[in-house]
């Protein structure tokens, strides 16, 4: 019978033949080592996207319908235009840059319109 070794610490595995790790610590450590850098990057971008969404949602909740705000209002709250989830075409209103369910669109040079999708 072939001896199996833990994929993380290389110790001999005792028990079921389909085991890849000697214990849950080794299994978790192995997957963290494989996915850690990717997960960290994804987590950081998700935080930026969520912050942008929160800023749009907060300003939108204070805006009367169909009004715009100075684009600087977004920047003052920490909005980062480099991070968005998608572009959404609205049949009447044009194309909005979105962070999840909120979108914004420049109106002229200095104003921005915000919608909830």
Binding site for Zn ion (CB under 5 A): 6, 8-9, 22, 26
Choice between 36 and 94, CB closer to Zn ion: 36
* DSSP summary character for residue 109: T
Shortest CB 32 distance to Zn ion, Å: 13
C-alpha distance from residue 23 to each of 3, 35, 98 (Å)? 16, 19, 44
CA dist 6 and 13 (Å) reads 6
Query: What H or E segment, with its residue span, contains residue 37?
Result: helix 24-62
Choice between 6 and 48, CB closer to Zn ion: 6
Shortest CB 12 distance to Zn ion, Å: 10
Choice between 15 and 64, CB closer to Zn ion: 15
């Amino acid at each position: 019978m072939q001896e199996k070794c833990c994929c993380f610490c290389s110790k001999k595995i005792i028990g079921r033949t389909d085991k890849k790790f000697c214990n849950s610590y080794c299994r978790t450590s192995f997957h963290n080592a494989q996915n850690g850098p990717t997960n960290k990057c994804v987590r950081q971008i998700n935080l930026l996207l969520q912050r942008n969404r929160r800023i749009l949602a907060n300003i939108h909740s204070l805006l009367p319908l169909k009004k715009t705000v100075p684009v600087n209002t977004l920047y003052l709250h920490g909005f980062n235009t480099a991070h968005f989830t998608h572009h959404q075409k609205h049949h009447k209103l044009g194309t909005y840059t979105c962070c999840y369910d909120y979108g914004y669109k420049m109106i002229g040079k200095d104003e921005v319109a915000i919608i909830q999708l």
